[in-house]
Chain A
Amino acid sequence: MRNLLDRIKGGEVLICDGAMGTMLMTEGLKAGECPERINIENPKILESIARRYFEAGADIIEANTFGGSPLKLAQYSLEDDTEKINKIAVEAVRRIVGSKAYVAASCGPCGRILKPYGDTDPEEIFLGFKRQIQALIDAGIDMICVETMTDLAEATLAIKAVKSVSPSTPVAVTMTFDLTPNGFFTIMGNSIKEAAAGLDDAGADIIGSNCGNGIENMIRIAEEFKKYTSLPVLIQSNAGLPELEDGQIVYPETPEFMAEGCKKLLEIGVGIIGGCCGTTPEHITAFATAVNDFSNSQIDS
């Protein structure tokens, strides 16, 4: 399989998969259950979700390892199973895609706040990520997606952890921004400009945003990233923000609506497009069609 970064740099736009958490809920993940516990208890579910995204046209499939840092797993007293939980998730996706798609590992926030605002030392967070990432590399992942980050300092520690274990493994880092009257900021106060510079400095290969916003805000976020970075940009939008309908949670943005937004992302020059909360294999199929149409129109002209 060709190097992922070379493909993006060569002008190809890759499709990443959609949501995991909301898909697991439809598969029976219960209230407050650790989403990574499924890896141990029912890896067949992971295969089924991976298959659906692969068949939908995703080039990159993420493993169910978002909360796989031992610091986060400790909230469920599962930290001793860190290696097992991460390994099973990667292997489940690999069984489905073989070498026909990239297997990416997801690394979410460790759930602790760094000193001086919180009580956790940077070293503790770094070592937590390092342990998770070692397990992921050993299991043979193709890239790492550090995601849903709101603290540039934590994101930087995750990048350093990847580089310390496997300098050649591509690292994508996406952060989650809120729209304020002064523009987009993470809740910890990082602007897009600051994130772009900080993540690049720390050695990220791909940067961008996931979660927290629907496609319209994500288009604005992508535009801003492109202004401040020459690295490939990754955008994983929510299917809008959750709404309550007859007691059920629904995400309002349809595959068609989001695919229209994808066209704008493509014009802006985004390198990887995927989905976050509320997106489904149907959304990913629509995104893949939008990317194909765009590539064909580029060739035609």
Chain B
Amino acid sequence: METLRLLNEHLQKGDVEEVRKLTEQVIAEKQDTKKILDDGLIAGMTLIGQKFKAHEIFLPDVLLAARAMYAGLDLLKPLLISEGIPMIGKVVIGTVQGDLHDIGKSLVAIMLKGAGFEVIDLGRDVAPEKFLDTAKETGADVIGMSALLTTTMPVMKKVIDMAKEQSVRNDFKIIVGGAPLSEEYANEIGADAYCFDGVNAVDCVKSFLGVG
């Protein structure tokens, strides 16, 4: 227990080396894999998300903590797979076509990964077909789209309309976010939810999937 608490704390400090060492240690101690994930990595990253949201910490702290989380997660992944522990859901995420902004979308991806979701990050400038094809191929539960420009917001509608045309709209929940967006706009284009930040996106996806 003590080691998991330390793991959580070092993750929050962004100490990659220490997180790697502690994760190796708890794996060697044969601690429950799910518990390492939940109480060590996810718990630490959730706190980071909340502190960032409350403006107690800033972007550099989140980026460092995320790197530490990935270091732990990489070690844990083979065990999660071999023990058949499912991730709690799969999300395909990206910034829409024509939009090169990356940071907001990456923050949401970090928070979702940190909450135990499998995240397929398509990056920026993602074509509508790419969102849908990837979601179909991977059997994703959720598609997340980000737009930081008022001029690229309409691409989100294009993806949703395309999903309807292909009769796959009900196969996924679709969430949207980005500075110029609003709940009103999300409703207007037929998205399932507008998420105003990473923590909110995690809550939202969890409620869709009936977890947490």
A, B co-complexed: yes
Chain A residues within 8 Å of B, Cβ to Cβ: 25, 29-33, 75, 111, 113, 116-118, 178, 180-182, 185-189, 242, 244, 247, 249
Given A32-B100, A181-B54, are A189 and B59 neighbors across the interface (CB < 8 Å)? yes
CB-contact partner of B55 in A30, A33, A116, A182, under 8 A:
A182
**CA A247 – CA B153 in complex, angstroms?**
10
| Chain B positions within 8 Å of A181 at CB level | 54-55
Given A31-B152, A32-B125, A180-B55, are A75 and B60 neighbors across the interface (CB < 8 Å)? no
B89 interface hit (Cβ, 8 Å): no
CB-contact partner of A249 in B58, B125, B150, under 8 A:
B150
B196 interface hit (Cβ, 8 Å): no
| B 122-142 contacts with A by CB, 8 A | 125
A188 near B59: Cβ-Cβ < 8 Å: yes
| Chain B positions within 8 Å of A182 at CB level | 55
Closest residue on chain B to residue A114 by CB atoms = B60
Closest residue on chain B to residue A113 by CB atoms = B63
A197 vs chain B, min Cβ distance (A): 18
| B 27-67 contacts with A by CB, 8 A | 54-55, 57-61, 63-64
A187 near B59: Cβ-Cβ < 8 Å: yes
A31 near B55: Cβ-Cβ < 8 Å: no
| Chain A positions within 8 Å of B179 at CB level | 242
Given A32-B149, A242-B180, A244-B184, are A188 and B125 neighbors across the interface (CB < 8 Å)? no
| Chain B positions within 8 Å of A116 at CB level | 64
Contact sample, A vs B, 11 pairs, CB 8 Å cutoff: A31-B154, A32-B98, A111-B100, A117-B59, A117-B63, A180-B55, A181-B55, A185-B55, A189-B57, A189-B58, A244-B185
Chain B residues within 8 Å of A, Cβ to Cβ: 54-55, 57-61, 63-64, 97-100, 103, 125, 149-152, 154-155, 179-180, 182, 184-185, 188
Closest residue on chain A to residue B101 by CB atoms = A111
| Chain A positions within 8 Å of B188 at CB level | 247
**CA A180 – CA B58 in complex, angstroms?**
11
Closest residue on chain A to residue B188 by CB atoms = A247
| Chain A positions within 8 Å of B54 at CB level | 181
A116 vs chain B, min Cβ distance (A): 7
A31 near B155: Cβ-Cβ < 8 Å: yes
Given A31-B152, A181-B54, A242-B180, are A189 and B60 neighbors across the interface (CB < 8 Å)? yes
A118 near B100: Cβ-Cβ < 8 Å: no
CB-contact partner of A117 in B60, B98, B125, under 8 A:
B60
A29 near B55: Cβ-Cβ < 8 Å: no
A32 near B151: Cβ-Cβ < 8 Å: yes
A187 near B180: Cβ-Cβ < 8 Å: no
